[in-house]
Chain A
Amino acid sequence: GQSLEQPSEVTAVEGAIVQINCTYQTSGFYGLSWYQQHDGGAPTFLSYNALDGLEETGRFSSFLSRSDSYGYLLLQELQMKDSASYFCAVRDQYGGATNKLIFGTGTLLAVQP
């Protein structure tokens, strides 16, 4: 079957660094994405990793290890506005007519002052 596992909740303080892990098991693999969703809002795209290694975008970085079927989202210099749910997602097929993005169950990040 296909599954993505993330911790359900993470708590951290302002200014700290937090890592949200994601392990996946899918029939195909064409990249790991991360989405952020504030309470009551739409999920928004954060990052995409196709190859092993770390991708950095400002305070956020995303890491992928395809051999371990594992990735993480790293948030640095946490701010209160980073309090949100974070979803990892895997594309299980390359292009073509079937183009499914499979989401994890989400990690609720609470940033405390």
Chain B
Amino acid sequence: DVKVTQSSRYLVKRTGEKVFLECVQDMDHENMFWYRQDPGLGLRLIYFSYDVKMKEKGDIPEGYSVSREKKERFSLILESASTNQTSMYLCASSPSTQPYSPLHFGNGTRLTVT
């Protein structure tokens, strides 16, 4: 089974802090994704990466950056956390860019910015 592990289940940070959310997958998948999940808004794509050191903006990249230095690890960075970034963050990976290729999600990190 594919395992996508997010480093923290719950995180509380202060406004203005730099926040790192870490994600590791163990199946040598090419593609990795960061989504944000908010009630009534579904899952919205923040950034994705289709290879090491490659990244593409999703639908809501503002206020975020990402890093992919190794194939198995994809980090989401909040440069200066704000209260409107309080959310559930979901990392996912998939083996290919083919349309039928499913996403495998981690259990999420619930971030609260105070």
Residues of A within 8 A of B (CB): 4, 8, 30-31, 33, 35, 41-45, 48, 50, 87, 89, 91, 94-106
The answer to whether A106 touches B107 (Cβ under 8 A) is: no
The answer to whether A105 touches B45 (Cβ under 8 A) is: no
The answer to whether A95 touches B98 (Cβ under 8 A) is: yes
The number of chain B residues touching the other chain, given as a range, is: 20 to 34
The answer to whether A91 touches B105 (Cβ under 8 A) is: no
Cα A105 to Cα B41 in complex, Å, equals 5
Contacts of B63 in A (CB 8 A): none
* Chain B: CB-nearest residue to A49: B100
Given A43-B43, A106-B42, CB of A101 within 8 Å of CB of B97: no
What string of 1s and 0s marks CB contacts (under 8 Å) between B75-113 and chain A?
000000000000000101000111110111111100000
The answer to whether B99 touches A98 (Cβ under 8 A) is: no
The list of the 4 closest CB pairs from A to B, nearest first, reads: A45-B102, A30-B99, A105-B42, A42-B105
